[in-house]
């Protein structure tokens, strides 16, 4: 048996498959934690921008002040943060609905296969 055949045999072992699934699950969990942290950071930024905008709107007395450079800057910033938050939310939903689900289904099938093939005592 050559080296390639022995590696192929080792990779096909149930223990190696389980370890591979566990590594993928760990990586997906880390990706999910990072996405949640990014979303939370965007929420904090959005709250800060909204508070700043509210304070500025409170100081503005008339509608003619809507063309004030500070008002326009805050409005642009708020739109940018809202867009970033929407993007982060979409990315998080994508991770939750796609990669994790497929991995969990595959891992569940693998574990059920181990359970069925395990000798009963």
pLDDT per residue as tens digits for the range 9-28: 445 566 777 778 888 888 88
Give the C-alpha separation, 75 to 101, whole Å: 38
Distance of alpha carbon 47 from alpha carbon 44, whole angstroms: 5
The residue-averaged pLDDT of 30-47 equals 87
Q: What is the pLDDT of residue 60?
A: 65
Q: Look at residue 17 and tell me if it is in a domain.
A: no
Please give the torsion angle defined by the CA atoms of residues 12, 16, 19 and 21, in that order, rounded to the nearest 10 degrees.
Answer: 0
> Is 49 within the bounds of a domain?
yes
Domain span at residue 82 reads: 37-105
Asked if the structure places residue 71 within a domain, the reply is yes
CA atoms within 13 A on the CB side of 2: 1
Q: Which of 6, 89, 76 minimizes the C-alpha distance to 40?
A: 89
23 within some domain: no
The pLDDT value recorded for residue 8 is 43
In a domain, 25, yes or no: no
- Tell whether 118 is covered by a domain: no
Mean pLDDT in residue range 35-64 = 79
Q: Is the pLDDT of residue 116 over 70?
A: yes
Higher-confidence residue of 96 and 90: namely 90
Q: Are 65 and 114 in contact (CB under 8 A)?
A: no
Domain count, the chain: 1
Is this prediction's pTM over 0.75? no
Of 95, 107, 117, 113, give the one whose Cα is nearest residue 22.
Answer: 107
**CA–CA dist 32, 16 (Å, integer):** 24
């Amino acid at each position: 048996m050559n080296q390639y055949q022995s590696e192929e045999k080792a990779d096909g072992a149930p223990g190696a498959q389980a370890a591979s699934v566990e590594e993928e699950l760990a990586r997906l969990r880390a990706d999910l934690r990072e996405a949640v942290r990014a979303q939370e950071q965007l929420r904090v930024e959005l709250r800060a921008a909204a508070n700043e905008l509210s304070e500025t709107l409170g100081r503005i007395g008339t509608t003619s002040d809507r063309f004030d450079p500070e008002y326009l800057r805050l409005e642009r910033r708020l739109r940018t943060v809202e867009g970033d938050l929407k993007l982060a939310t979409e990315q998080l939903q994508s991770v939750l609905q796609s990669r994790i689900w497929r991995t969990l289904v595959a891992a569940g099938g693998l574990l059920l296969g181990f359970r069925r093939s395990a000798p009963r005592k």
